[in-house]
Amino acid sequence: MLIKEVIIENFMSYEYARIPLKPGLNLICGPNGAGKSSILLAISVALGQAYTERSRKLRDLIRRGRDIARVTLVLDNSPRSGKRPITGWHSDNFQVSRYLKLDGTYWYEVNFQTMTKGELTEVLKGFGLNPDNMLIIMHQGMVEEFSFTSPQQKLRMLEEAVGFESYRQDVLEAQRKLSGILSEEQSLSRLVENAQTTLDYWKEEYEKFNLRRELLERRSFLERERAWAQVAKQERLIEGLKDRLDRRQRRIGTTLKRIQEIRENIKRLEGLRHDLEFEEKKLYASLIDAEKKASEAQALEGFLMNSAHRLKPLALFLQGLPKAFGGDEAKGLLAYIVELETKAKEETERRRSSEELIMEVHASLSRIEKEASETIERYLEERVSEAVLSFQRESLEEEVKELKVQLSEAYEELKELTSLADKLGPRIETSRNPTEVSEELKVTETRLLSLGKISEDAEKMYQTYMSVYEDLKDKIALVSENKARALEEVKARMAIWRGAIQRLLEDVNPEYARILASIGAIGRVRLVNADDIEAAGLEISVGFRGGDVVVLDAYTQSGGERSTAIMAFLLALQRHVKSPFRAVDEFDIHMDPRNREAIFGQLLWSVGESSDAQYLVITPTPLAGVGEKAHVITVQNVEGRSEVREAKKPGEGKED
């Protein structure tokens, strides 16, 4: 099934264009931004592809200023060997249209009749044409994107492209069947376990009946023991409360006595502090008086000594005169000087006495201040002790109040407990507390509950469940046989799947190596994790310019090397691809001219080998030497509108 024509209306940069496609190689050329990639995008959108490299919203694909866009593919449905490719459609053309509206809605029409996307996908699936498979349609940028895909994704794309999906589905179906059998086996195992448990239950039923009677008697005794143990515990609680109350009341008395003693000490210390303050004031007055007297004595002493010192020269002078001129005056002056010196000595003694008194007063003040400080410290300590004891007294009084309430409540509870215990029977003297009895009672209750309802038909029920048990054992043996067969089927289908992939790779690898050799490179393609279909993957390796062969990824090789290796793999795979339509946009991205020319040459050779296939190749760079080997279409953007021209082959005249 080939595409005869693509009709684009109000799609991206196109107003209206009809692009005829032919069997073999269709080459779309034109400058960047002309609208080349939009043609492949339009084909993919019409086929229902989920991926769009230019937009996430379909409405953004509508040409600006328009409300609706349409892409139509005219597919060749003419008979081949008397049979049309799409059975059920009797027209030579199978026309698929997809409409896109600005409000985000879209729909499909086939030969002008509405069709759902699911119905269209089912039609295309028969031809192996999945527009979401990069090995069938590789959009702009997908050559790079392919290198980012995991080995598992690559393998699934390969299986779909070559029509091996059924092998994988067969394996998965066998695994699902095995999983179902395993689930059935588990269910039967659980049933067998349950039947065994039930069988054992009925086998021991009579023993349980006797045990239940013993446990009921024990439970009755334990309930009575627990009741009287609670009474005894309450009595002990009351005695404890009474003892605590008595001790708290005694502590209150002791505390009150101690508070009284402290208050007396405080009163005594206050008196002592007042006495010390009074004595300190007296000492300060004595100190001031002594310092005043010492100062006066010192001043007078200085004056007298100074006066005597000044008068001595005069006395000596008068002594040197004749007695007739100053004898009496000299005697009198000398006597006066002696008197001054005597008084000065007296003042000196008086000053020394005052200074000694000052020292004594200072010593007394130091002693008084120390005693006062110690008295104040003891006073504060007693005050703190009084406050603490007062708080303790209040707390104790509050606790006494609370204990009296608790004691009253405890007596009430004792009355109730005694009444309940009397109803269960005479008092039992026990050394155990209620918790210990309750634990044994709980164990007894649990054992009783575990027994459940006891039946008198134990023998009959045992025989019935024995029959059920044997039947289940037979069924589980049959399921085990089915499981063994299912395991063998999984292994067989895995071998078929693995063999098909390995044979395919044995065929692809030489071609892949041949293409790489044409550009001086080496490489291989291999299946990894082949024993686990979910983890299995396709590993593509390549080595350039004499380098080691390494796994192709998005980081190791250069952009041109990745593009070359991926195109070499695609070309090596072509004769195995099921889809009649294959497309690649910018296959030569990042390639140097030599590799570009070599890969394009291999592409032309591959097209020649696939007579029933249709290729669409997009490149911005014109390719020399195409000649009659390709149907060339050029795209240009004229005043914001993409226009398409079909190049004529040599001998057909000029372009339209």
pLDDT digits (tens, 9 = 90+) for 631-651: 899 999 888 888 989 876 655
Q: Which residues of 120-140 are buried (b: 16+ CB within 10 A; e: fewer)?
A: beebbeeebbbbebbbbbbbb
Check whether 270 has a pLDDT greater than 50: yes
pLDDT number for residue 334: 67
Structure tokens at 413: 């509870």
Q: Would you mind telling me the total number of residues written for the chain in this entry? A: 656
pLDDT digits (tens, 9 = 90+) for 549-587: 999 988 888 888 888 898 889 888 888 888 888 888 887
The mean pLDDT of the chain is 84
Check whether 54 has a pLDDT greater than 70: no
pLDDT digits (tens, 9 = 90+) for 4-26: 999 999 999 999 999 999 988 89
Average pLDDT score over residue span 239-262 = 86
Work out the angle between the directed axes of helices 165-203 and 151-162 (0-180°, nearest 10). 110
How would residue 525 be classed by pLDDT, with cut points 50, 70 and 90?
very high
pLDDT digits (tens, 9 = 90+) for 459-515: 678 788 888 888 988 888 999 999 999 999 999 999 999 999 999 999 999 999 999
What percentage of the chain's residues is helix, strand, coil (to nearest 5)?
Answer: 65, 15, 20
Structure tokens at 326: 């100053």
HEC assignment per residue over 20-37: ECCCEEEEEECCCCCCHH
**Closest by CA position to 225, among listed 415, 440, 410, 412:** 440
Poorest-pLDDT segment among 48-52, 176-180, 449-453: 48-52
Average pLDDT score over residue span 89-101 = 89
pLDDT digits (tens, 9 = 90+) for 280-328: 787 778 778 777 877 776 777 677 777 767 766 766 666 665 555 455 6
By three-state DSSP, how is residue 19 classified?
strand
Query: For residues 619 and 588, what is the distance between their CA atoms, to the nearest angstrom?
Result: 7
Number of helices and strands in the chain (H, E): 11, 15
Query: For residues 529 and 576, what is the distance between their CA atoms, to the nearest angstrom?
Result: 23
Query: For residues 587 and 37, what is the distance between their CA atoms, to the nearest angstrom?
Result: 12
pLDDT number for residue 169: 93
**Closest by CA position to 619, among listed 638, 641, 597, 602:** 597
CB within 8 Å of 370: residues ≥ 6 apart: none
Q: Which residues of 356-381 are buried (b: 16+ CB within 10 A; e: fewer)?
A: ebbeebeebbeebeebbeebeebbee
pLDDT number for residue 265: 80
Pick 71 or 627 by higher pLDDT: 71
Phi, psi of 133 (to 5 degrees): -90, 120
pLDDT digits (tens, 9 = 90+) for 337-381: 777 778 777 777 777 877 777 787 778 777 777 777 777 777 777
Query: For residues 145 and 134, what is the distance between their CA atoms, to the nearest angstrom?
Result: 9
Query: For residues 51 and 149, what is the distance between their CA atoms, to the nearest angstrom?
Result: 15
pTM equals 0.57
